[in-house]
Amino acid sequence: MLGVAYWDISNSLWDTGRLDEAVGYGRKALETFRQATGQQAAGQGLVLGNVAEDLAITAPWQAQLGDFSGAAATVAANDPFLGPSVLHKAGLSGTYTEVAINAWRAYPAAVVAYEREDWSDARRFARTALGNLHAAGPPPTPEDIGWLNLNLSAFSDLEARADYHLGEFAAAAQAERAALPASRLEIVLGVIESAGQKQRGTAQSAIWLSMALAREGKQAEAAQTIGPVVTMYRGLTKKNYGDQWLPLEYAEALYAQSLSDTNPTQRAALLRQASGLVAHLIPAIARLHDTREWRARIEAAQRGTHTG
């Protein structure tokens, strides 16, 4: 399918730091998926699911880039294809596909709130979506299980990060504990991303869990959580050939490990390494809001202070 091909190109461009081009191909994929809607009765659930899932990635990418008006435009162009009347006509009313699609429709707004540093609103969006997902009951098919866990891991992780920024570290740890098993189930079932990409998504949840535990004063549990993640990133870094996000993710893991390390010398070394990785990011990633936040977090730790 042409839409899937566009989406594969989009992911590859994003990984290599060509962020604006990645968004462009994500929008091409959306346009192609939209054109497929209504052309045939069979397979409409999958087609509409593709629109919703692509929307829940492309628009948040735009939000990460600070293009909030672009994210809103992407939502506005695609949301009419995912409304209740469309889902009813496709025979999806009352199905798990409808539940998953409605969750994906809500995700861009949650990410926009997060990127605007409106932590309370981001958490509200996440908790509402999670409540709807849990209320739907057990999913009936393996595909439904995959889509459910994709949503559970995304919204639980977002909830946890918002909780962390709000200084509610116990709540953040609880939310990431919910995100981790859902993310691991994604690896088994598969949706669009590769297993390697999903393992890194799981690692991201473990990073935030470790940070929350450390801020709770649970240093031993935090160290146990982050140790395998740092080992994984160290191994990936040795054989990295162009993934521009890997240095930032590795820096995040090193920072999290520094929070749980009780040896001042080792902690300082971890922070120096993390700072060095962030200092050499490509400009497209270095300028992002989230990256600036990580830089400030690492610098504050080096000064002996804390930031969000």
Q: Is residue 138 situated within a structural domain?
A: yes
Query: pLDDT-based confidence at 185, cuts 50/70/90?
Result: low
- The yes-or-no verdict on residue 301 having pLDDT over 60 is yes
Largest CA distance in the chain: 64
Q: Is residue 202 situated within a structural domain?
A: no
What is the rounded distance in angstroms from the CA atom of residue 69 to the CA atom of residue 80? 18
Residue with tokens 């968004």: 23
Q: How many domains does the chain have?
A: 1
Return phi, psi of residue 124, to 5°.
-60, -45
Least confident residue range of 180-189, 195-204, 212-221: 180-189
Closest CA to 215 of 121, 126, 301: 301
Instruction: Give the torsion through C-alpha atoms of 307, 72, 107, 168, to 10 deg.
Output: 20
The full DSSP string for 174-190 is: HHHHHHHHHHHHHHHH-
Q: Is residue 215 situated within a structural domain?
A: no
- The yes-or-no verdict on residue 231 having pLDDT over 90 is yes
Give pLDDT, residue 147. Answer: 83
- The yes-or-no verdict on residue 115 having pLDDT over 70 is yes
Q: At what angle do helices 44-64 and 19-36 cross, to 10 degrees?
A: 160
Which tens digit of pLDDT belongs to each residue from 27-66?
999 999 888 875 554 467 788 888 999 999 999 999 999 9
- The yes-or-no verdict on residue 201 having pLDDT over 60 is yes
What is the rounded distance in angstroms from the CA atom of residue 180 to the CA atom of residue 124? 20
Q: Is residue 128 situated within a structural domain?
A: yes
- The yes-or-no verdict on residue 189 having pLDDT over 70 is no
Q: Is residue 254 situated within a structural domain?
A: no
The one-letter amino acid code at 176 reads: E
What is the rounded distance in angstroms from the CA atom of residue 108 to the CA atom of residue 141? 26
Look up the domain containing 65 and give its range. 1-171
pTM here is 0.91
What is the rounded distance in angstroms from the CA atom of residue 183 to the CA atom of residue 38? 32
CB atoms within 10 A of CB 69: 9
CATH of the domain at 78: 1.25.40.10
Give whole-number Cα distances, 115 to 57, 180, 289, 305, in Å.
14, 22, 7, 23
Q: Is residue 30 situated within a structural domain?
A: yes
Query: pLDDT-based confidence at 146, cuts 50/70/90?
Result: confident
Q: Is residue 5 situated within a structural domain?
A: yes
Instruction: Give the torsion through C-alpha atoms of 192, 197, 200, 204, to 10 deg.
Output: -40
